[in-house]
Amino acid sequence: MSIISSQNVITIIRKTLSILNPNIMAHGEIVGYILYKMLEYGQDYSEQEILEYTMLGMMHDIGLYRVDGLDNVADFELKNTWSHSIYGFLFLKYLSPMGDRAEIVLYHHLDYERYGLVKMKYEHVTACLALADKMDSFMRRDKTEMETDYFTRYRDIKVSGKALDIFLEAEKKFGITAKLVSGEYKEELGALLSRSQWSEGYKKSFLEMLVYTIDFRSEYTVLHTMATVNFAVQLGKLMGVGAREQKRMYYGALLHDLGKIAIPLDILESPGKLSDEEMRIMKAHVRITEIILSGLVEPDVLEIAIRHHEKLDGSGYHKGLTEKELTLPQKIVAVADMLSALYGQRSYKPSFESGKIEKILNKDADNYKISKPVVDCLMKNYDNIINNFEEQKGETIGLYLKIKEQYEEIWKKFEGIMQ
Ligand SMILES: [Fe+2]
Ligand SMILES: [Fe+2]
Ligand SMILES: [Fe+2]
């Protein structure tokens, strides 16, 4: 049995991204739904293929999440057409399991008459996504100022005529717009998504993408979750945690800071000590993680995720639990999280050397804050644990740097066809 179902993985992604910006997610779901019905009408794709394209449709604006505090999607999209298309493409290409099809997102704002200027492998789906995207903007056109005859006027210029015909046929057959208005589409979309059957690797990869979307928001947190997972899994093995439990630790550690999606970047990147008010906001991340994950993961995984700031003497948050209520995996993840923060460079501190880390962790263990046996195990194996992490971390940094570099490259490459 798997620890998280495919459907719940999707729900976690939707819930998390909705918290960061509900408008982008709502727009994504409508576009995903329109695309789904268009592809269903064409009957050229299997259900699992349609499902993947629908997911892509839902996440086509994921590149917009790089910018904090947007509320008017339509407005922002116009100004940053290429910027978010490129980021979205790179995120999906390198971080999601759908990498091969990411180009669909790259070209979702490209005018149809320019398709010949670029090499496209998925031209038809790209044209359908672009149309679905414009259709949603058109339906909310008070914000986008599209002319009433937009689609006929720009047939085969801005939008593909073939995609437009498919939409119109699908509209006749399925009543797409009526379902969008009544809200019925949500159920239908949910039913499609519930039929996803993903492998463990595929699910992991989607959740990792979500975590990177959050951690890559700040230079200082690029490695935080990956380091926490790595340290936790190593410590779990060393302390004889069973295989099934180790898996739960993996997921618990992976999801432990999901709630940080709701914390503003200026607090996450604050260079000094946080004020009381800022600290209160920062601490809310645990509660938000709980809201996102409740009912979607096994209770054991949820508890590992939301207890990483609890202290043995009851002085932690958010519940103020004490030692006897905390399990070994929970105590391990709490130490792994601290180690990750101490070892990594943060906005408010440089990376600490081993002597200083040892002193801080031992002091906390002696003061009955974190588990002494876990800290002892860590100290006994310190160099090994750090070396193993150092070997693995290149991969994450590599992804981060690749996205940064390629962003610039793609800008340059497409300068000619951008308008
Ligand atoms: Fe877009
Ligand atoms: Fe945390
Ligand atoms: Fe953390």
Q: Give the distance from CA 404 to its chain's centroid.
A: 17
Residues bordering ligand 2, an ion, CB closer than 5 Å: 257
Q: Which ligand places an atom closest to the C-alpha of 80?
A: 1
Q: What is the mean pLDDT of residues 217-227?
A: 88
Coil vs helix vs strand at 346: strand
Are 224 and 77 part of one and the same domain? no
Domain count, the chain: 2
- Asked, for residue 168, whether it belongs to a domain, the answer is yes
Kindly report the length of the chain: 419
What ligand has the least distance to the C-alpha of 70? 1
* Domain assignment present for 416: no
- What lies within 8 Å, CB to CB, of 262 at 6+ separation is 19, 20, 284, 285, 288
The dihedrals phi and psi of 315, each to the nearest 5 degrees, come to -90, 5
* Angle, CA 144 vertex, CA 90 and CA 60 arms, to 5°: 20
**Dist CA 8 CA 364 (whole Å):** 36
Based on the fold, state whether residues 119 and 264 are members of the same structural domain. Answer: no
CA of 139 to the centre of ligand 3 (A): 41
57 domain residue, yes or no: yes
Structure tokens at 97: 């399991």
pLDDT in tens, 179-201: 999 999 999 999 999 898 889 99
101-121 per-position pLDDT tens digit: 999 999 999 999 999 999 899
Q: How far apart are CA 52 and CA 57, in angstroms?
A: 9
Last residue of a domain, one of 130, 164, 197: 197
Summary mean pLDDT of the chain: 91
Do 184 and 238 belong to one domain? no
Q: Token match 């906005």: residue? A: 347
Q: Are 1 and 200 in contact (CB under 8 A)?
A: no
Sign of CA dihedral 109, 114, 119, 120: positive
Q: Which ligand is nearest to the CA of 24?
A: 1
- Asked if the structure places residue 384 within a domain, the reply is yes
Kindly report the pTM of this predicted structure.
0.89
Q: Which residues touch 43 (CB under 8 Å, ≥6 apart)?
A: none
Of 197, 227, 44, the closest CA to residue 123 belongs to 44
User: Does residue 206 form part of some domain?
Assistant: no
Residue 191 domain flag: yes
* Residue 231 and residue 349 in one domain: yes
Whole-number Å distance, alpha carbon 60 to ligand 1 midpoint, is: 6
Structural domain for 358, as ranges: 216-402
Asked whether residue 180 falls in the same domain as residue 231, the answer is: no
Q: What is the mean pLDDT of residues 232-258?
A: 97
pLDDT per position as a tens digit, 306-347: 999 999 999 999 999 999 999 999 999 999 999 999 998 887
Ligand nearest the Cα of residue 260 is 2
Pair 132, 269 in one domain: no
Ligand 1 mean position to 48 CA, how many Å?
24
Whole-number CA gyration radius for the chain: 23
List the structure tokens of 127. Answer: 């044209």
Tell the burial category of 121 from Cβ atoms under 10 Å away from its Cβ (0-12, 13-18, 19+).
exposed
Q: Are 167 and 238 in a shared domain?
A: no
pLDDT of residue 71: 45
Tokens of 107: 């070209």
Spacing, Cα 28 to ligand 1 middle (Å): 9
> Is there a domain that residue 230 lies in?
yes
